[in-house]
Every structure is written in C-alpha cells, then in structure tokens.
Amino acid sequence: MKTFLTKIYTYVDERVQLEDLVQFMGKKYVPVHRHSVWYYFGGITLFLFLIQVVTGILLLLYYKSGEELAFESIQFIMSKVQFGWLIRSIHSWAANLFILAAVIHMFSVFFERAYRKPRELTWLTGMLMLFLGLGFGFSGYLLPWNELAFFATKVGTDIAGVVPVIGKPILIFLRGGEDVTGATLSRFFGFHVAVFPGIFTVLLGIHLLLVQRQGMSEPLGVEAGAAAPQKTMPFFPNFLLRDLLLWLIVLNILAILAVFFPWELGQKADPFAPAPAGILPEWYFLFMFQTLKMIPAQVWFIDGEVLGIVTFGIAGLLWMLVPFWDRKSARGEQNRTTTYIGIFVVGYIIILTILGWLL
C-alpha cells in the first residue's frame, strides 16, 4: 500500500516537481500571537465559497431559469429530488455565512493593518471579491422568482437607477428593460452562474497566490513589542489541519441549519400583485437600505437618495483604497485615526442593521 502511494508520488514529482511545493509549504510558518484566531476566517470564507461552487453546480442540474419555470423548478428541487432540500438550503445558508465570514475577514485585516505594504494587492483583490460576493447574493436572491425576491430586486435596482447620469442606463442594463421581468431573471442567472464565478476565480487565484507568496501578516503591535524570538507554527500540517478541523465544524453547522431551518420558498412572484408588507433586502444590504430610508428627501438642494448613494459609493471607494492613503501604517507606525474610522464603520453598520430589522 505504502509503496504504491510512494510510486504515484514519485511519478507526479518527476513531472511537476512536487518536492518544491512540499519544501515551500514546509518552510512556511504562521505567526502565533493573541490575534491568530482571525487568520482562520480567510480559510472559512474560502471553504464556504467552495461549498457554493459544489452546491451551485448541483442546483444547476435541476434549476430552470425563466419566469414560468424558475419557481416551479425550485419547488421541484425542494420536494421531488432526493436531498434537493438539503442542497438548496445549504446553498442559501452558505451564501449568507460566506458574506458574514468575508466581512469578518475583511475587518480583521483592516484592524490589523494587514493591508499595508507589500500586501496592497491582496487587500484590493479581497475587497473586489467581497463586492462580487454581494453581487452573488443580490443576483442569486432573485433566481427562485418568489414574491419577496421579486420586490427586493425591484427596490434594489431602483436604487441603482437613482445614481446621477449613469443610473438609468445601469437600471436598464440590470433589468434588461424598464421593469423587472423574465428578462431580468435571465440576466441575473447569467451573472450568477457565469460572469461572477469567472471573475471571482481569477481574483481568488491572485489573492491566494499572494497570500502563499507573502505569508501571513503580523499585526503592528505584535511585531514591535516582540523582543523575544517570534512564536510560529508551520503552515503544513499544523495550520492546514486546524483549518480543516474548522471547516468540518462549519459544514456541520450548515447541515444543522439546513435541516432545522430549511430555506423557505414563499409565494411565486406575481408582477401584478401588490407588494407584500415587510419587504427587506438581504441582511447585508440592510444598513444601506435603512440609511436611504432615514435620509430626508431633500438635503439642501440635493435629492436625499442621490446623496446617500453617492456617499456610499465614495465611502466604499475610500475604504478600498485604504492601503494608499494610510501612509503611517505603511511606514510601520501606529495610526489611531484608521482605528477610529474602522470602529465607526463597524458601529454604524451594526446599529443601522439593527434599526433596519426593528423599524
């Protein structure tokens, strides 16, 4: 048995120099300190993405896009296909946990200043992937073509349409026409299963390559205060096995969620029905939704909604470009301003999300 495996290993090694990779991984160390726990969220996000890929492909076997078929096909998956309910519920739950894990990963990177030189590109690709993840969520939400999704998409695309100058063309592009129709469904389906995954894979490749190449970043404080030799742990097998262990736990959580809280399907969308009460976007859009609701209709002479959207756009852009304006951290100095900004943003998102739920 052992000799057989060795033979295979040797066979592959002779052709692709596996030994180099093992050497590389063996020499890779992960710093150990009191913030180490945050290192795992990147891995969890990656794992959830892989789950999405697998369950997404499985759903594709039975899902049918189109106004007349989408809802019915999901109903079919949920009721007739063996374990269809499991696959769909896991896909829906994992989507939400993916965004959650990605957001935690992003903020941990932010607060540990891991974006500073030389990891600007890692941060940029990560941010782009987070935005893509939101796009995945928004487009995937519509695919079951149920009432809630229909109206959430209507509202969501409406908001995009408010952006000055480019808003209207964007709205038409997203909807595939003036209204949310079967054409919108086709487009969102295309984005969700072809366009986004393609871009995401490229970004993910770069992101992972950079992480492997540059190793894990150490927080500023730990670096500075460490007089004694750095505590580390080998990436392979110690860190990787821990990663796997966590992934198993996440998988189990997903199964529990899927069995006890199967994702609901609701009513089939009817474009002529009045909007049902209590339409909310997915929770990760809630803080933006709530902000737009709370901004007065007119601020000076600017339309409140436009102001909100433009502000969010600029804020998002600034956030993404933090490695380039946070010069202090880049030089390896403590920068309290960014910490305060980060705390403000986290607090704002949490409070507005809660308000969005309650109001």
Partner 1 sequence: MKRLAAISALLVVCASYSFGADECVKCHQLLGDKPTQLFKKDIHASKGVSCADCHGGNPRSDDMERAMSKAAGFIGVPKGDAISEACAKCHADEAKMKSYGSALPVNQWKTLQTSVHGKLAVAGKEHIAQCTTCHGAHGIVSAKNPASPVHPLNVVKTCATCHSNAVYMRSYNPSLPVDQNEKYRTSVHGMRNAKGDTKVAECASCHGAHDIRSAKDLKSKVYATNLPATCGSCHSNAEYMKEYDIPTDQLEKFSSSVHGIALLQKHDLGAPACNSCHGNHAATPPGVESISKVCGTCHALNADLFSASPHKRAFDDLQLPECETCHGNHEIVAATNELLGTAPEATCGRCHSEEDNAKGFQAAALMRLLADSLESGEQQAQRLVDEAEQKGMEISEAKYKLRDARQARLEARTMVHAFDSDKFSDVIGKGLTVASTVHGEAQAAVDEYYFRRVGLGIATLIISVLVVSLYLTIRRIEKKQQKATVL
Partner 2 sequence: MTSDPDDHVQPGKRDFLKLILGGSLVAWAASILYPLFAYLKPPKQAEVEVTSVKVGTLSSIEKDSGMIVRFGNKPVILVRSAAGELRAFDATCTHLDCTVQYHKEMGVIWCACHNGKYDFNGRNIAGPPPRPLDEYRVVLQGEEVLISKKS
Q: How far apart are CA 354 and CA 359, in angstroms?
A: 8
**How far does the chain reach from its first CA to its final CA, in angstroms?**
64
Cβ burial of 346 (10 Å; 0-12, 13-18, 19+) is middle
* Per-residue contact string for residues 285-324; x = within reach of partner 2 by CB under 8 A: ----------------------------------------
Q: Which is nearer to partner 2, 241 or 302 (CB)?
A: 241
Q: Please give the structure tokens belonging to residue 214.
A: 């540059």
Greatest pairwise CA separation for the chain in angstroms: 78
Question: Does the protein bind partner 2 through residue 61 (CB under 8 A)?
Answer: yes
Beta bridge mates, 234: 29
Q: Please choose which of partner 2, partner 1, none residue 73 contacts, taking the beta carbon within 5 to 8 angstroms, the exact cut-off set by kind.
A: partner 2
- Closest distance to partner 2 from the beta carbon of 73 (Å): 5
- Closest distance to partner 1 from the beta carbon of 60 (Å): 21
Q: Which is nearer to partner 2, 35 or 64 (CB)?
A: 64
Q: Which residues contact 338 (CB under 8 A, 6 or more apart)?
A: 110, 113, 322, 326, 328, 329
Q: Please choose which of partner 2, partner 1, none residue 256 contacts, taking the beta carbon within 5 to 8 angstroms, the exact cut-off set by kind.
A: partner 1
Tokens 């993405």, residue?
49
Q: What DSSP element (H or E) covers 31? A: strand 29-31
Give the one residue of 9, 24, 83, 348 binding partner 2; rule: CB under 8 A: 83
Question: Does the protein bind partner 2 through residue 80 (CB under 8 A)?
Answer: yes
Question: Does the protein bind partner 1 through residue 262 (CB under 8 A)?
Answer: yes
Q: Please give the structure tokens belonging to residue 153.
A: 């998409």
Give the one residue of 61, 249, 273, 294 binding partner 1; rule: CB under 8 A: 249
* Per-residue contact string for residues 84-123; x = within reach of partner 1 by CB under 8 A: -xx-------------------------------------
- Closest distance to partner 2 from the beta carbon of 259 (Å): 12
DSSP codes joined into one string, 130-161: HHHHHHHHHHHHHTT-BHHHHHHHHHHHHHHH
Tokens 């969005």, residue?
356
Q: Please give the structure tokens belonging to residue 192.
A: 């969700």
Question: Does the protein bind partner 1 through residue 280 (CB under 8 A)?
Answer: no
Q: Please choose which of partner 1, partner 2, none residue 259 contacts, taking the beta carbon within 5 to 8 angstroms, the exact cut-off set by kind.
A: partner 1
Please say whether the beta carbons of 152 and 278 come within 8 A. Answer: no
Interface residues toward partner 1, by CB under 8 A: 75, 78-80, 85-86, 233-234, 237-238, 241-242, 244-245, 248-249, 251-252, 255-256, 259, 262
